[in-house]
Amino acid sequence: MSCVKTLKEKGLKLTPQRMLIVDIIHEARGHLTAEEIIRHVQAKMPGVNKSTIYRTLDLLENYGCVYKSETGEGFIYHHSEEGHHHHLVCSKCGRTIKCDEDLFTPLKDLLEEKYNFNADFKHIVMSGLCEKCRNSN
C-alpha cells in the first residue's frame, strides 16, 4: 500500500475518507469510473461529499498513485500498480480492451520528428468498434 506511504511522506493527512478512497481503488483490479468510486465510497461512509472524492482522486493522480483517463463521457481511474496501458472502448457495446503501450511509440516518435511536439501518451482511451459489434450490422 504505497499510496498511504506517499501521502504520509508529503505531510498529508490520513483522514478516514481518504483512506477509504485509497482502499477502494486499491482493491479494484482494473479501472473504475468516477461514478463507481462515488457509489462505493458512499456505501461504506454515507456522508462523504462528492467534492471530497474528486479532490482526493486529483490528489492521488498528482502524486502518481492513480492514473486518470477520460473516456469521452466521464473519467476512469486505475491504480498505478496496474501499470501504464491504454484502453480501446467500443462505442456500441461499451466493452473495454486493454491495449499495450508500445503500440503508440511509433506515432509518438513521428509527432516529435515532424512537429517537434512532445505528445502526452499516458493513458489514452480510444473509441471505435470491437470485433463483435462490427460484425453484427
Footprint of DNA (CB under 7 A): 7-8, 11-18, 33-35, 47-52, 54-56, 58-59, 74-75
Closest alpha carbon to 1 in 89, 77, 90, 65: 65
Rule CB under 8 A: say whether 125 interacts with its own copies: no
Picked from DNA, its own copies, none, the partner binding residue 88 (CB below 5 to 8 A depending on kind) is its own copies
* Interatomic CA distance for residues 98 and 108, integer angstroms: 19
User: Rounded distance, CA 127 to CA 136, Å?
Assistant: 17
Residue 126 interacts with its own copies (CB under 8 A): yes or no = yes
Q: Which is nearer to its own copies, 4 or 129 (CB)?
A: 129
Interactions with its own copies, residue window 67-106 (CB under 8 A):
70, 72, 88, 90-91, 97, 99-100, 103-104, 106
How many whole angstroms separate alpha carbon 63 and alpha carbon 10?
A: 9
Kindly state whether residue 62 participates in binding its own copies, applying the rule CB under 8 A: no
CA distance 108 to 63: 24
